[in-house]
Every structure is written in C-alpha cells, then in structure tokens.
Structure 1
Amino acid sequence: MDEYMSTVRVWGLSCPGFPEEVSRARRWTRDILRGSPLTDDAELIVSELSANAILHTASGCESGSFHLAMAVSAQVVAVSVTDDGGGRTAPKVNRVEHQDQDGEHGRGLGMVSALAHRVVIHESHASHTVTAELFTDEHPSGFPC
C-alpha cells in the first residue's frame, strides 16, 4: 500500500458461495494491503464477514455468491461484504447474545465490531452489506476521525 496516496483506491471481488472462497477473500485482502499495519485486522474482518455470508444467507446456496469491496486511502481502509440476502435474521452488530462460551458460532460480528473503528450495516430487500472501517494514525489535519 502506497503511504503517499492522496486519493481513494477501490477494489472489488465477486466469489461463488463456497466455503473455500473465504480463503480466497483473505488472500485478496492481504495482497491489496501488503505492508499496511491494518492488514491482519482487515483480513480477519473479511474472513468473518465472508463466512457469515455463506453460513447465514442465500449466498451459501447452490447458485449463491458474495461480493467484496475495499476502499483504501491514507486515513481509512473500508471493507464491505454483500450477501445474497435470505437469512433468517439481518446482521446486527450491537445485538448482545448470551452464547455458550464453548460454542463454535455466534461471536463473529462482535469480533468485527471490536476490531473495526466503525461498522455499518445496510439492508435491502435482496441483500445485506456489512462495512467495517479501520482508521490509520494519519488523520487529515483539522478533522478528527
């Protein structure tokens, strides 16, 4: 990632809804952010959101897919995952659930929320998009993040 970027750069990736595509999404994230201190957090966020799309929505059905977008500037990395909708419930970052501590599921969005500086969920009749923003230490002068 070029530390002297003055504009936002945007990438996109569409993946079939197969579990092995989550590792492809992680590699894609790592390749784009190579050298950034935000790489590990962004990769984990993409992994969680991609897995959630496959496990909990129509993205994991036979003809399903999920879509990633990443916007990178000197101040922020924003990663979005859009699913095919059709889940039992919409994703909710602020929903507190009492989960079995030994359970294998139920903590992904909480982890995303803990890693990201901001998480935004957009719902439509056909899909959900979860966007996680990670801020760098380089804030524009005069504008606190």
Structure 2
Amino acid sequence: MDEYMSRVRIWGLTCPGSLEEVGRARRWARELLADSPHADDAALIVTELGANALLHTVSGDPAGSFHVSLALSEHVVCVSVTDAGGAKTRPVVGHPGEDETHGRGLGMVAALAQRVETHGGDDGRTVSAYLFSSTAVDGAAWLRH
C-alpha cells in the first residue's frame, strides 16, 4: 500500500475578506509548519500575499474571501494565495521610493522564496511561493514526490 501513499501533505483555508483573517491565516500556517525550518518565512509570505489579495482585489470587499494553500514535501514548502479577482493589474515586484508606504510586500516574498509564480486572470489569481530545502537543488524534487 505504501507505493500509493503520497509524501506530500496539502492543506487549504478559505478566509472571509477582512484584515483580521490575515492574522488567522498566518497563525494557521505557522502551526501547520511548526516542525519545518520554513515556518516563519511561510507565515510572513501568507501575511503579505493575503494582505495583497484584500487590498488589490475584490477579496477585500464585504462579501469577499481569499484562499490559502500550503503544500509540504520532503524538499519543498509551497505557499499559495488565491484572490477573488477584479484587480486591474498583475502582481509585480515593486520598487517604491523611501517615503512610499506600500509596494514592498511582493518584493519581500520574492526575497524569501526561491521561486514565485502567478497564475490566473481577471476572475482570480493565485500567487505561489516555493521554499526549497537545502537538499533540493531545484523544483524537480517536488515533482517526484
């Protein structure tokens, strides 16, 4: 039976569209990944991507929501946040001036993660950040498990 058992664990959490829920999602991620060396980085990534979903899409509307997925394998932690769409632009790493109060979140995510991908369109986007263990040279190990 072991040959059919995946070593990848996947969790999901859908949150109502309020900023308090970003904190709940962060605590949830940190608790699930408590034994992982990536727990703190993953929690920060959830915070930044969740806040971006609320601030830049209809996820932050009164009836909005966002979804957080965590996938954990021996070599990779993948943090994904899916918004409800409605953004006028694609998420990009910004280069704000010193006096700017916004625009650094996705840059922090990109600095923490070894790879960041964005999928989707006007109806909703998913931003995924991959944190590889030191034994994973690239994402190929993720695909084998």
Match of 1:131 in 2: 128
Is 1:24 paired with 2:21? no
- Aligned positions, number: 136
- 4+ residue stretches of structure 1 with deviation over 6 A? none
Amino acid at match of 1:13: L
Q: Could you tell me how far 1:83 is from its partner in structure 2?
A: 0.2
Match of 1:89 in 2: 89
> What 5-or-longer segments of structure 1 have no aligned partner?
1-5
Q: Percent identity?
A: 56
Match of 2:3 in 1: none
Query: What is the CA deviation profile of residues 112-138 of structure 1, one whole-angstrom value per residue up to 9, with x for unaligned ones?
Result: 001000000002341010000000123
TM-score using structure 1 length? 0.87
> What 5-or-longer segments of structure 2 have no aligned partner?
1-5
TM-score using structure 2 length? 0.87
Q: Could you tell me how far 1:37 is from its partner in structure 2?
A: 1.0
Match of 1:71 in 2: 71
Q: Could you tell me how far 1:100 is from its partner in structure 2?
A: 2.1
